[in-house]
A = this chain, B = another copy of it.
Amino acid sequence: MVVDALSEPNSYRNLCHEHSDGAPMPSAEALRDIVELVRSIIFPGYYGKSSINTATLKYHIGVGVERLYSLLTEQILAGLSFADYCDTAAYAAYNQQTVQTELNRMARDRAGRFIEQLPEIRRVLATDVVAAYNGDPAAKSFGEIISCYPIIKELTIYRMAHELWLLDVPLLPRMLTEMAHSETGIDIHPGATIGEYFTIDHGTGVVIGETCIIGRNVKLYQGVTLGAKSFPLDAEGNPIKGIPRHPVLEDDVIVYSNASILGRITIGRGATIGGNIWVTQDVPAGASITQKR
């Protein structure tokens, strides 16, 4: 019978996640709540259900930050337990009780440090709003950018996820950026480094790889890939993880739609890359390259 077949341990080896006590999987639903909370704190009045005015804004932010701390602690704990579960060796020396206590402490600590970064995240997102506004003649106001533009939805999530990445939180950064990928069609790896005043127009199909480094005031169009060209294999033929393999874009670079920039190359300050082309070598500062016709 099918239930027996599906319950046969060999059939679900590697596909099943057993939960240790009190350690559920990170929850996509909780992460969605977290994103909503961060949006309501960063852009008060644009997100969140309540009406806001300057007299009561502090109450709303106070409640939001408390709830964010609590939700985030829970999810970071789930992420840490998940990683712990996947990599039991790392904790082999400790007994379960000690591990649980230590993971709890780590989760609270990282949630607290994330929250301390919120003012800086807001400051940088404010520059991204300016970049999106300046880059689109169809934009009518900052308010329209904040409430409609996919790039702001994407960057709010990416900049959150990148902070969590820097805090060495497992799984959550990736789950967050995949949520943004699904919503906007823009796939930015949480490990990528991206400067201020960044924008992407339209965005669908953009890919930005894990080891990319992007300067200030860079603009991309839809369909652009900042990817790896190939990746070295180790002795057993498996890809070696963690090697810098994606491009560096210096300040003031523009890349037009559907261009693919591949490998650890550098696009120099102020360069312009035309649409639908394939770039696998360094481009000097100020250069402009386009598709041959």
Interface residues of chain A, those whose CB is within 8 Å of chain B, are 2-7, 9, 11-12, 14-19, 24-26, 41-46, 50-54, 56-63, 65-67, 70, 82-83, 85-87, 97, 101, 115-116, 118-119, 122-123, 125-126, 129, 134-144, 146-150, 170-171, 174-175, 178, 181-185, 187, 189, 191, 202, 204-205, 207, 209-210, 221-223, 225, 227-228, 231, 238-243, 245, 257-258, 260, 262, 274-278, 290-293
Contacts and interface: CB of A to CB of B under 8 A. Distances in A.
A284 to B, nearest CB: 17
Given A58-B3, A122-B12, A240 B137 contact: yes
Contacts of A87: 141
Given A143-B82, A149-B178, A260-B275, A16 B43 contact: yes
A150 B258 CA distance: 21
A119 B2 contact: yes
A278 B260 contact: no
A217 B25 CA distance: 30
A119 B6 contact: yes
B2 A15 contact: no
Nearest to A45: B17
Contacts of A238: 134
A137 B222 contact: no
A278 B278 contact: no
A215 B140 CA distance: 27
Nearest to A85: B143
Nearest to A65: B3
B146 A175 contact: no
8 contacts: A6-B41, A6-B118, A11-B122, A15-B125, A17-B52, A18-B54, A137-B242, A187-B204
Contact of A148 (B5, B52, B122, B175): B175
B116 A2 contact: yes
A59 B149 CA distance: 31
